Amino acid sequence: MFFQLENSPFWQAIADIMSFILNVFRPIVQPIGTVLVLIINFLLNFFPSENITIYVVIFCVLVGSAIFVNCKWPGDVYLSVYKKEGDKSSEVKEKKPSIVEYLDKKAEKKPEAKFPEEIEATNDSEEEEPNL
Amino acid sequence: MSFSKEKIKKTLENAKIKNMIRGVIFATIYIITTIVIPFLTFSWVMSLEIEGVDLELYQDRYNQIIFFVLAFGLLISGTAFFAYSSPSQSIRRGVFSLIQIILNCFYLWSYKFSGALELELVLVDMGVVTIDLAQMILTYMGIYFLVVILKTYDLVDFIVNRNKIKYERGKKR
């Protein structure tokens, strides 16, 4: 069946299109691929080529950590206001009060109202002499 | 108070579940395409018969191919799960997509490393058929390199426009 499909015009057309695309891009893409292959050949030396258990462990760690990270940060924190960096028109800066303004404000503050009994009590406590 | 808390909790739960389902779907797709299909193909080639004549793929080469297909297939599927279970346009998705593409390069090249690109099929009593696909793989590697550049750009974009992405994500909801 496989070898019968090989002769059909549909597959031939697909093969022609693919070969055309590959031939057009080959001069640009193949040198880049060669460089990448050199890098990969070097890096493949560090991959263990006998023990599949390491890869299974890495797979399990990836899946486990993905589940943990998703439970912790599912990505539902949104910003209600977006402010472009450097956009000073939308920035509202809080101005710090000067020392004169601060003192004026303090002087304007009214003393808290007290009941007459409380005032007397405070006067008595001030008059009392400490026990020596 | 309790109503809004419940609503937030429910939304969080939904996002978690949605992310997980997406991750599982893509991990399954990658397991099928990088492990199951190549495994079945090589097993089929191993026991292929043309007009009553057995084709024999060397057993040690077959084992090597299966090992690399399994090893890199597992790594790719794991990173695919991590990438696709992350929220869209998030930094972690960008990072793991980039890792996944790099692993794809390794996976593709491991075919060459294991000898799968220079297949020697022994036709008993007739001779040897050799299939060399190295040139095609080189072209694919070049394309993958361009994809690596694209993914790196995506990652930088996600980092730089982090606040904007979060704001727009909130607006969509």
Q: Tell me the per-residue pLDDT of A32-47, one tens digit each, with 9 for 90 and over.
A: 878 887 888 788 788 8
| pLDDT of A92 | 43
Of the candidates B105, B101, B111, B93, the one whose C-alpha atom is nearest the C-alpha of residue B45 is B111
| pLDDT of B113 | 58
| pLDDT of B127 | 72
User: Is the CB of residue B150 less than 8 Å away from at least one CB of chain A?
Assistant: no
Residue A6 has pLDDT above 70, yes or no: no
Nearest by CB to A37, from B16, B68, B138: name it.
Answer: B138
Measured in degrees and rounded to the nearest 5, phi and psi for residue B132 equal -110, 110
Of the candidates B146, B105, B134, B112, the one whose C-alpha atom is nearest the C-alpha of residue A32 is B146
Answer yes or no: do A35 and B145 touch at CB < 8 A: yes
Compute the mean pLDDT over every residue in chain B, rounded to the nearest whole number: 80
Q: Report how far residue B81's alpha carbon sits from residue A16's, in angstroms, rounded to the nearest whole number.
A: 35
| pLDDT of A30 | 77
Nearest by CB to B90, from A33, A43, A75: name it.
Answer: A75
Which amino acid does the sequence have at A65?
S
Output the CA–CA distances (angstroms, integers) from residue B73 to B29, B103, B132, B159, B165, in the order listed.
11, 9, 23, 29, 32
| pLDDT of A1 | 47
ipTM comes to: 0.77
For chain B, list residues with pLDDT below 70: 1-5, 7-13, 48-60, 112-126, 129-132, 172-173
Of the candidates B46, B63, B74, B57, the one whose C-alpha atom is nearest the C-alpha of residue B122 is B57
Of the candidates B114, B118, B146, B123, the one whose C-alpha atom is nearest the C-alpha of residue B133 is B118
Of the candidates B118, B112, B115, B170, the one whose C-alpha atom is nearest the C-alpha of residue B141 is B112
Answer yes or no: do A30 and B86 touch at CB < 8 A: no
| pLDDT of A123 | 61
Answer yes or no: do A76 and B12 touch at CB < 8 A: yes
Window 27-56 of A, Cβ < 8 Å to B = 28-37, 40-41, 43-44, 47, 49, 52, 55-56
Residue A8 has pLDDT above 60, yes or no: yes
Residues of A in contact with B106 (CB under 8 A): 40, 43-44, 47
Tokens standing for residue A13: 């057309």
User: Residues A56-109: pLDDT tens digits?
Assistant: 999 999 999 999 998 888 777 666 666 655 554 444 444 555 666 667 777 776
Q: Which candidate in A43, A54, A73, A78 is best for mutational testing of the B interface (most B CBs within 10 A)?
A: A78
**CB of B95 closer than 8 Å to CB of B82:** no
Q: Helix (H, G, I), strand (E, B), or coil: what is residue B159?
A: helix
| pLDDT of A90 | 44
Residue A129 has pLDDT above 60, yes or no: no
Nearest by CB to A76, from B11, B77, B168: name it.
Answer: B11
Which amino acid does the sequence have at B23?
G
Write down the pTM of the prediction: 0.66
Q: What is the mean pLDDT of residues A13-24?
A: 82
| pLDDT of B117 | 64
User: Residues A110-119: pLDDT tens digits?
Assistant: 555 556 666 6
